[in-house]
Amino acid sequence: MDMKEAVFLAKLMEKASPTDYEIKKMETIGGSLPKFHQWTNNKKTYAAYEVKRPASDTGYYFIFIDWHRNDIYYLVIYAHDRSTTVAELRQVQEIDGSPHLVWTYKPFKRDGKNDVRKAYFKQMFGTTTVEIKLPKSPAEVEEFYKHIFNLCQNRVKADRIVDKFDFDIEERRQ
């Protein structure tokens, strides 16, 4: 997304009063988010927020950042423990006359089980490509959060699915 789109979305988040989510703006210093995570240090950051859903005791960090230092802004979603990113959203497409963030699940684990992860994700969403309508007003922000949280939770489930089931059973039979 370009800077203008990032600014618009961040300002909507600040104006919104969602009932199921709590949002806290984080302090940026000199246009960056120092000491948050090694991957964010010294990168241009427009805004950062901690977004929580108290009812499910879940939360993520939403960071509007020039992720690759090329003037293309991403909405990077960090896990609440700051250990890693859960989604890096940048692609905006017009779908049915409205702008949407478009993100594709592409696991890059090095254990040979990425096809299983993708199949599980596809089963959860019906596709590996997720389209999330961008809010046009503060009243639409809560629905946006709902879709982002859903994306993140399904991403984490898909990444971990190989830990829940034994997919190597055929290898042991031989």
For residue 140, the 8-state DSSP code is G
72-119 pLDDT, tens per residue? Answer: 999 999 999 999 999 999 999 999 999 999 999 999 999 999 999 999
Element (H, E) at 157: helix 141-164
**Which pTM value belongs to this model?**
0.91
Q: What is the pLDDT of residues 6-53, one digit of tens each?
A: 999 999 999 999 999 999 999 999 999 989 999 999 999 999 999 999
User: Phi, psi (5° rounding) for residue 3?
Assistant: -60, -40
CB 45 within 8 A of CB 31: yes
How far, in Å, CA of 96 to CA of 173, rounded? 51
Separation CA 168–CA 171 (nearest Å): 5
What ranges do the domains of the chain cover? 3-165
